[in-house]
Amino acid sequence: MSLIKSDEDIKIMREGGKILSQALAEAIKAVRPGVFISELDKIAEASLLAVGAKPSFKGYRGSRNDPPFPTTLCVSVGSEVVHGTADRWVKLKEGDIVGIDIGCEYKGRFTDMAATVPVGKVSKKEEELMRVTRESLLAGVRAARPKGDVRDISRAVEDCVKPYGYGIVTALVGHGVGHAVHEDPHVPNYFSPRAPQVLLKPGMCLAIEPMIALGSGEIKTADDGWTAVTRDGSSAAHFEVTIVITKNGHEILTPMVV
């Protein structure tokens, strides 16, 4: 798989990104107290299939020995960070925050995005967590420029989050995308001088996705074998877009819906 996507690749990803954004928007519109997360999954899957796209998470295996992921969406509630399966018997309730992560394959090209939204009225601290996480995503996107490096994105995300004292989930990172669900390079949400220097070049497509917690940011995997949750039980938020590096900066290929 090439790190640099062709003009045709990017054209298809742009089309797929709009389709993906619409599916996420439809799922978010259905978020309210009393809704089962499986209902959100059905809405999103129907939206993708109706226009010739396919959910890229459903059936995905991290490795040959892993079981296939069972649903179109990753739906993560409260202290769940990411990778919550949407087939669980979970009903949203007033005051929850819910992260919805979705990917699609369209004409053989892949895009990925996510957003965290409130269920009814939520606490002020969780409102701020969502706001800062979204702002950190946009800070990372702004830092993505040709002749820069992936660590510029990492530093921008961390610099946005650090003043608030939130925990950055360091065990999970963003990634390349386009020819597959996950590609090189890794895109961490924190700066490390030991991280490899990966130069940003026109045609590179990246999924930038800060995952931020009210607590420490340390995570563990729940008993279902999929869901990543905060170790201290604190709430977490997750936002993501797919971008392409252009000659003059970047382009968001998955229009944000919140």
Burial 110-133 (b: 16+ CB within 10 A, else e): bbbbbbbbbbeebeeebeebbebb
The low-confidence residues of the chain, meaning pLDDT below 50, are none
Do residues 237 and 258 touch, judged by C-beta distance below 8 A?
A: no
Binding residues for substrate: 83, 182
Q: What pLDDT does 157 receive?
A: 98
- Report yes or no: 150 and 200 within 8 Å, Cβ to Cβ: yes
- Other beta carbons within 10 Å of 32: 11
Residues making up the annotated binding site for a divalent metal cation are 101, 112, 175, 209, 240
51-104 confidence digits (pLDDT tens): 999 999 999 997 788 899 999 999 999 999 999 999 999 999 999 999 999 999
Query: Looking at domain 7-252, what is its CATH homologous superfamily?
Result: Creatinase/methionine aminopeptidase superfamily (3.90.230.10)
Cα 109 to Cα 58: distance, rounded to the nearest angstrom: 15
Binding residue positions? 83, 101, 112, 175, 182, 209, 240
The residue assigned the tokens 């669980």 is: 88
φ/ψ bin of 245: left (φ > 0), alpha (ψ from -120 to 50), beta (otherwise): beta
What is the DSSP track for 29-98?
HT--TT-BHHHHHHHHHHHHHHTT-EESSTT--SSTTSPPP--SEEEEETTEEE--BTTS--B--TT-EE
Residue 209 near residue 240 (C-beta atoms within 8 A): yes
The domain ranges of the chain are 7-252
Q: Torsion angle of alpha carbons 248, 11, 252, 78, nearest 10°?
A: -150
